[in-house]
Amino acid sequence: MQHPNPAGVRRLAVLTSGGDAPGMNAAIRAVVRTATQQGIEVVGVRRGFSGLHRGELAVLGPRDVANTIQRGGTILLTARSHTWRSPEGRARGAQVLRDWNVDGLIVIGGDGSFHGGHYLQEEHGIPVIGVPGTIDNDLYGTDHTIGYFTAVETALDAVDKLRDTGASHERIFVIEVMGRHAGHIALDVAVAGGAEEVFIPEDAKSVEGVVEIVKASVAKGKASSIIIVAEGYPGGAQGVADAIASGTGLETRVSILGHIQRGGAPVSSDRVLASRLGEAAVYALMDGQKGVMVGRGGGGIMYTPLHETWEKRKDVNRDLYRCAKTLSI
At its nearest, how many Å lie between ligand F6P and the CB of residue 152? 12
> Residue 302 and residue 308: Cα distance in Å, rounded?
13
> Residue 194 and residue 76: Cα distance in Å, rounded?
37
Backbone dihedral region for residue 125 (phi beyond 0: left; psi -120 to 50: alpha; all else: beta): left
At its nearest, how many Å lie between ligand F6P and the CB of residue 172? 24
Instruction: Verify binding: residue 136, ligand F6P, rule CB under 6 A.
Output: yes
Torsion of CA 74, 80, 85, 90, to 10 degrees: -30
Of 36-44, 123-131, 176-184, 195-203: span binding ligand F6P (CB under 6 A): 176-184
Question: What is the residue type of 212?
Answer: E
* Catalytically annotated residue among 136, 138, 188, 270: 136
Question: Cβ atoms within 10 A of the Cβ of 156, count?
Answer: 18
At its nearest, how many Å lie between ligand F6P and the CB of residue 198? 16
Question: For this structure, is 136 an active site residue?
Answer: yes
State which of residues 178, 191, 237, 280 lies at the interface with ligand F6P (CB under 6 A).
178
Q: Tell me, what DSSP letter sits at residue 19? A: S
Residues 140, 146, 148: CA angle, nearest 5 degrees: 85
How big is the site for ligand F6P, counted in residues (CB under 6 A)?
11
In the range 187-226, which residues lie near ligand F6P by CB under 6 A? none
Q: Tell me, what DSSP letter sits at residue 58? A: E
**Nearer residue to ligand F6P within complex by CB, 136 or 270:** 136
> Residue 322 and residue 197: Cα distance in Å, rounded?
11
Q: In what order do the strands lie in the sheet with 104-109?
A: 57-60, 41-45, 11-16, 104-109, 128-132, 292-297, 300-305
Concatenating the DSSP letter of every residue in 105-149 gives: EEEEE-HHHHHHHHHHHHHH---EEEEEB-TT---TT-S--BTHH
Instruction: Verify binding: residue 80, ligand F6P, rule CB under 6 A.
Output: yes
Instruction: Verify binding: residue 22, ligand F6P, rule CB under 6 A.
Output: no
Question: Cβ atoms within 10 A of the Cβ of 321, count?
Answer: 20
Instruction: Verify binding: residue 180, ligand F6P, rule CB under 6 A.
Output: yes
Of 24-32, 178-186, 277-285, 304-312: span binding ligand F6P (CB under 6 A): 178-186
Of 8-16, 24-32, 131-139, 266-274: span binding ligand F6P (CB under 6 A): 131-139
State which of residues 78, 134, 137, 252 lies at the interface with ligand F6P (CB under 6 A).
134
At its nearest, how many Å lie between ligand F6P and the CB of residue 322? 24
Backbone dihedral region for residue 21 (phi beyond 0: left; psi -120 to 50: alpha; all else: beta): beta
**Nearer residue to ligand F6P within complex by CB, 202 or 231:** 231
**290 assigned ligand-binding residue:** no
**Nearer residue to ligand F6P within complex by CB, 102 or 177:** 177
At residue 156, the 3 state secondary structure works out as: helix
Outline where DSSP puts E strands in 224-273: 225-230, 252-256
Question: Cβ atoms within 10 A of the Cβ of 250, count?
Answer: 17
**81 assigned ligand-binding residue:** yes
**135 assigned ligand-binding residue:** yes
**196 assigned ligand-binding residue:** yes
Instruction: Verify binding: residue 179, ligand F6P, rule CB under 6 A.
Output: yes
At its nearest, how many Å lie between ligand F6P and the CB of residue 181? 8
In the range 300-329, which residues lie near ligand F6P by CB under 6 A? none
In the range 232-271, which residues lie near ligand F6P by CB under 6 A? 262
- Catalytically active residues are 136
**Which residues contact ligand F6P (rule: CB under 6 A)?**
19, 80, 110, 134-136, 178-180, 231, 262
Known binding-site residue numbers for ADP = 29-33, 163, 194-196, 220, 222-224
